Chain A
Amino acid sequence: MSELGTLSIRNVSKQYKVKGSTLSVLENIDLDVAPGEFVSIVGSSGCGKSTLLRLVVGLEGDYRGDILLDGERITGPSLQRGIVFQEHRLFPWATVQENIGLGLLNAELDAAEKAKLIQEHIDLVGLHGFENAHPHQLSGGMAQRAAIARGLVNRPEILLLDEPFGALDALTKIYLQTELQRIWTQEDITMILVTHDVEEAVFLSDRVVVMDARPGRIKRIVPVPLEHPRDRADPEFACLKNEVLSEISGFKPVSAKPALKVVGGGL
């Protein structure tokens, strides 16, 4: 508890007013994230995952409950908390290099150190050769990788990632998951990752938070007590993956029987 970077989300509810009526997006969210922990959030579309990240990063002030960082209520954005948005949100007039550089704007480094960091992050996300490309010249996945580099370059204490690998091909995705894990272990950053990919969640996280929709609330938190780096082929890994899946869908896969028969039996 003495270590810095403890995030506590206490009984948080969030409503949006849409044309006079109120829409309850999050209800009674309770979640503690330890410093250096990796937490994933999974849940159906529209259950409030992005909204929860917006609250933590400090973009929404109007909510009930408390979001505390080291005991202090979060009132707005800070360089200690970074976010990679669901859409890449790169500045269209700036090159890849300039976009990543804007993430370092407030860092107390000299120009040479900044340039070195920027280049390292461009290489990290595999955009070498595209330093001077503008966002419209990149594919969706490339733009998303540039956005990941911008989120990482400043080394925040807490990094929030909203489906960062959603638009990537399987190979790049696995590569970046491994890289993200390497950065996470090396730099001791707390990471909160929203994803639709259950395997990704189980591969990376200490805990997987499963959310329910309308209103958004935490259904269950599944701990993943496996050693890093994890083996996706490990039976225990598969077992945890199924556990999370069954929480999301309410559907219990019976691995001993062929899938067709399960469907048939359910009818």
Chain B
Amino acid sequence: MSTLSADIRTLPKRGFRIGTLPAAFHATHYRGLLIPLVLLVLWEVAAQFHWINPILLASPSIIFHGFDRSLTEGDLLLNLQLSVTRMGLGWLAGSLIGLAVGLAIGLSRTADRVLGPTLHAFRQIAPFAWIPLISVWFGLGDSAKVAFVALVVFFPVVVNTYEGIRGVPKQLIEVSRVLMFSKARLIRSVILPAAAPAILNGLELGFLYAWLSTIGAEYLMNATGGVGSMMESAQESLEMDIVFVGVIVSGLIGFGISLSVRLARTRLLHWRKSFA
């Protein structure tokens, strides 16, 4: 076994690949931090010397103070919790509906002919154009935000699921015909695994969009808190430090999301040759 496994190009590992995480932070990545650090220093210096108007651009030290303020006096954690909950619910709803519809139109030509053109037409509508309609239908509360996130998530999930299913190699379908797979077995053992990379892609994109649309929805429908609403209120009262706190927090969450998505992908699709 030991001599033979030397021939395996990469050993199949079922376990969580911790090794890939530090790899993301290798030396080359540190070099990428140089320019942001220089800019940060310049920014602070410029603020200290009053070269820039603090109303327009708060300095790093003021923003840092703003962090402290919004953690102790403000509701940063509560807002964060509200936003993340909305994102999660919206993503879940959009993904489930998107998966169901995507599977239906991917697997059935009839469903495709009935639903396809309508979906395609609705896809052309810019997501934020739905906001006025949604606020009329759902108000400005939680349900409106979750509905908007679900709507934004729905489209990439549908499209990628559909295309993943339609892109299953004909050769593998032929193998399943020769081996006399039932329709259910064909779907379970061939179509779904073959479409899995595309489906995951859709869910991933949906995840990234979910966060963006949560912030956007909270910003545009400022009523019941959340990071987006926090930013909008701070902007109204010219608290630039808090606006920047919102920008940084939402950026960090977005970064965390794409990192976890990449890790999940490596883990779920370990059979694929490359994960480019």
Q: Given the interface contacts A77-B178, A105-B181, does A91 sit within 8 Å of B171 by beta carbon?
A: no
A220 interfacial by beta-carbon distance below 8 Å: no
**Chain B interface (Cβ < 8 Å from any Cβ of A):** 1, 4-5, 7-10, 12, 171-172, 174-175, 177-181, 185, 189-190, 193-194, 196, 271-273
A91 and B1 contacting across the interface, CB-CB below 8 Å: no
Q: Which of B7, B181, B272 contacts A92 (CB 8 A)?
A: B272
Which chain A residue shows the least CB distance to B189? A102
Interface class of chain A by DSSP: loop
Q: Which of A59, A129, A136, A139 contacts B273 (CB 8 A)?
A: A136
Total number of A-B contacts with CB less than 8 angstroms? 67
B179 and A93 contacting across the interface, CB-CB below 8 Å: no
A87 interfacial by beta-carbon distance below 8 Å: yes
A137 interfacial by beta-carbon distance below 8 Å: yes
| B-side contacts of A129, CB under 8 Å | 1, 4-5
Return B14 CB to nearest CB of chain A, in Å: 9
| Most chain B Cβ neighbours within 10 Å, of A59, A93, A132 | A93
Which residues A211-234 have CB closer than 8 A to chain B? none
| B-side contacts of A85, CB under 8 Å | 171, 174-175
| B-side contacts of A59, CB under 8 Å | 174, 177-178
Counting chain A residues whose Cβ lies within 8 A of the other chain, the interface size class is 20 to 34
| Most chain A Cβ neighbours within 10 Å, of B171, B178, B194 | B178
Q: Which of B5, B10, B190 contacts A91 (CB 8 A)?
A: B190
Q: Which of B1, B5, B9 contacts A136 (CB 8 A)?
A: B9
| B-side contacts of A92, CB under 8 Å | 271-272
Q: List 22 A-B contacts (CB under 8 A).
A: A59-B174, A59-B177, A59-B178, A77-B178, A79-B179, A87-B171, A89-B174, A91-B189, A91-B193, A92-B271, A92-B272, A93-B193, A93-B196, A102-B189, A129-B1, A129-B4, A132-B12, A133-B8, A134-B271, A137-B8, A139-B7, A154-B179
